[in-house]
Amino acid sequence: MKYSLIAVACAAGLIFSSCKKETPEDPATPSTPATGSVTFSFSNEVDGQPIVLHTQNYVNPNNDTFVVDLFKYYISNVRLYKADGSHYDEPESYHLIDQNNAASRSFTLGSVPSGDYVSMSFMIGVDSTRNVSGAQTGALDPANGMFWTWSTGYIMAKLEGSSPQSTEPGHIVSFHIGGFTGVNKGIRTVTPSFNSAALNVGSTARTIYMDCNLNEWFKTPTLIDFGTTAANMAVNAMNKTIADNYMDMFTVDHIQ
C-alpha cells in the first residue's frame, strides 16, 4: 500500500512535470520572437539647430561664430541593460558617424534578445584593444581618416571648421580628439538616459533617436574660447578638457 502510494505520487509528479514543460512560457504572447532589432539614429545639432556643413553659421557658448566643415565620431561597445541588470552587448560594435554621410548616421543592432530594456551605455571612441591590434577594417579602416598613422591610434572624434574669432591660420577650427591610454585620453563611456521611455524589443523594430549637440564640446565644465583655443591635435591636457566636455553631448530625444 505504502509502495503503491509512492508509485502513484511519482507517476503524478511525472505527468505534472511533463505538462508543465509543454506549457508555453508566456501564453499571452505566443508569437514573440527570440530577438528584435534596435536602430540608433543620430541627429547632429548645435544647440537644437541641425548641422548643415559649410554654409550655416553657428554660435558657440562663448559667442564665437563658427562654420562646420567636417564632424565625425566613433560610437563603440554599445550595451543595452534590462531592469535586472542583465545586458546585451552588440558584437563587433564599431560605428563611425559622419555628418557628411547620411547612411552612417544610423546603425541597427539586428539580434537583440527580446524584452524590456531600461538603459544603455556606449563608448565615444574606440577601445584600447582595437588601438593595439594591428590593421583593422570596416568602420575601423585607417583609410577613414580617423587614424593617426605617425602615433598609432584612432581619432575618437573630429571637428573641422572655421571661426572669425580663431587666430589659427585661415581662422580654422580644428579639433582631433584621440588617445586610448593615459590621463589625457579621448575615450569616454557614456550612459544617455532613456528618460523613463520604454525600449520593448521584440516583434516591433525599435529606434532610439539620439541628439548630438556639438556645442557641448565647448560648454561644460570648461568654456572654450575660439580666440585662444581653436585647434588641438595631440593627446594633451586640452584633449582631456574637450573629452570631458563632450561626455554629455548625447541625449535620447525619443524611442519608438
Partner 1 sequence: MRRPYFIKTLFVAASLSTLVFSCRRDPEIIAPVKETYEFKVPDGFPQPVYNFQGNTVTEAGFKLGRKLFYDPILSRDNTIACASCHQQASAFAHTEHRISHGINDLLGKRNSPSLFNIAWYPSFMWDGGINHIELQPAGPIGNPVEMDETLPNVVAKISALQAYRTMFKDAFGSDTITTQRMFRAMAQFMGMMVSANSKYDQYMRGETTLTPAESNGLSLFTAKCSTCHPAPLFTDYQYRNNGLAVDPTLNDSGRAHITLDPLDLHKFKTPSLRNIELSSPYMHDGRFFTLEQALDHYTSGIVSSPTLEPQLTGGIAMTAQEKTDIIAFLKTLTDRTFTIDHRFSEHAVFHEH
Footprint of partner 1 (CB under 8 A): 131-137, 141-143, 147, 149-152, 234-236
What's the CA gap between 224 and 235, in Å, rounded?
A: 17
DSSP 51: P
On the question of a cis peptide bond just before residue 221, with omega within 30 degrees of 0, the verdict is yes
Measured from the CB of residue 149, what is the shortest distance to partner 1 in angstroms? 4
Q: Which segments of the chain does DSSP mark as H helices, in order?
A: 2-22, 128-131, 237-246
Count of other CB atoms within 10 angstroms of residue 85: 8
The nearer residue to partner 1, 131 or 245, going by C-beta atoms, is: 131
Pick between residue 49 and residue 136 the one whose CB is nearest to partner 1.
136
Cα(198)–Cα(33) distance, integer angstroms: 18
What's the closest the beta carbon of residue 148 comes to partner 1, in angstroms? 8
CA distance 193 to 121: 9
Q: How far is the CB of 235 from partner 1 (least distance, A)?
A: 7
Of residues 133 and 220, the one with the C-beta less far from partner 1: 133
Give the residue with the Cβ less far from partner 1, 113 or 142. 142
Distance in Å, CB of 107 to partner 1, minimum = 20
- Cα–Cα distance between 145 and 96 in angstroms, integer? 11
